[in-house]
Amino acid sequence: MADSPVPPPVIELRRVHAAYGQIEVVHGIDLAVSTGEVLALLGPNGAGKSTTLKVASGQMEPKSGCFHVMGRHVNGMRPDKLARAGVCTLPDGRGIFPNLTVTENLRLMTFGGPSRSQVEDLAFTRFPRLSERRHQVAGTLSGGEQQMLAMARTLSVEPAVLLKPRQVSERGLRPAHHRACSRRRHGPHRLRRDPRARGRRRHPPPRERLQGG
């Protein structure tokens, strides 16, 4: 039997240059992230890490070079369309609605298709602490709990890749976050490879989502 072809990286930057006006700040970066991989972009202040993430999330168009998602050239594609294709950004800061409760914050993630019980199951399994505090107003959660909620909201749409500015080194992620991310990497991708796994398939794979517009 022929070997199945190696899938392209989920996201790839090839010789990407980025500039603010006339001032170029990213000078030809190459990077690729495949399914199940974790890539940390490290560097001193001003090195261009945030700018690179802006390019990878569609908030900024490269001055030159190529931005690929699942092997498709997507320079200039809007962030909302990239998000539908599975490229999701965990916002810098908390990325939650502080005046809403934990469950209300989670319920807002059902707009993309998953049911309320799916979103809550995923969130409360990964972060049992959120389950204990489901009726609490999010703005009164501790900083770490707010990060769990932000992470749970983002993971509920089962992103193909999660872009996460800064928090890891500067604010410090607790081990629970890493465990949740790790489950995310090894769990839902199995679903994607075999749509019959566990008898359901929540979202089309990113490539289909891109092709579907």
Ligand X SMILES: Nc1ncnc2c1ncn2[C@@H]1O[C@H](COP(=O)(O)OP(=O)(O)O)[C@@H](O)[C@H]1O
Q: Which of 86, 95, 90, 103 is nearest to 180 (CA)?
A: 90
* Cα–Cα distance measured from residue 123 to residue 155, given in angstroms and rounded to the nearest whole number: 8
Instruction: Choose which of 2, 5, 22, 45 interacts with ligand X (CB under 6 A).
Output: 45
91 binds ligand X (CB under 6 A): no
Measured torsion, CA atoms of residues 134, 135, 139, 144, in degrees rounded to the nearest 10: -20
Query: In terms of CB distance, is 47 or 197 closer to ligand X?
Result: 47
Query: In terms of CB distance, is 47 or 168 closer to ligand X?
Result: 47
Between strands 87-89 and 161-163, the pairing is parallel
Instruction: Choose which of 49, 81, 183, 189 interacts with ligand X (CB under 6 A).
Output: 49
Query: In terms of CB distance, is 4 or 169 closer to ligand X?
Result: 169
5 binds, among Mg ion, ligand X, none (CB under 5 to 8 A by kind): none
Minimum Å gap between C-beta 173 and ligand X is 18
32: left (phi over 0), alpha (psi -120 to 50) or beta: beta
199 binds ligand X (CB under 6 A): no
75 binds ligand X (CB under 6 A): no
* Cα–Cα distance measured from residue 110 to residue 117, given in angstroms and rounded to the nearest whole number: 9
25 binds ligand X (CB under 6 A): yes
Instruction: Choose which of 9, 51, 57, 126 interacts with ligand X (CB under 6 A).
Output: 51
38 binds ligand X (CB under 6 A): no
How is residue 32 written in tokens? 């690729």
Sheet strands (E) in 71-147: 72-73, 87-89
Residues 49-108 that bind Mg ion (CB under 5 A): 49-50
Number of residues that bind Mg ion (CB under 5 A): 2
Distances (CA, A) of 44 to 19, 47, 97, 144, 159: 18, 6, 31, 25, 28
Q: Footprint of Mg ion on this chain (CB under 5 A)?
A: 49-50
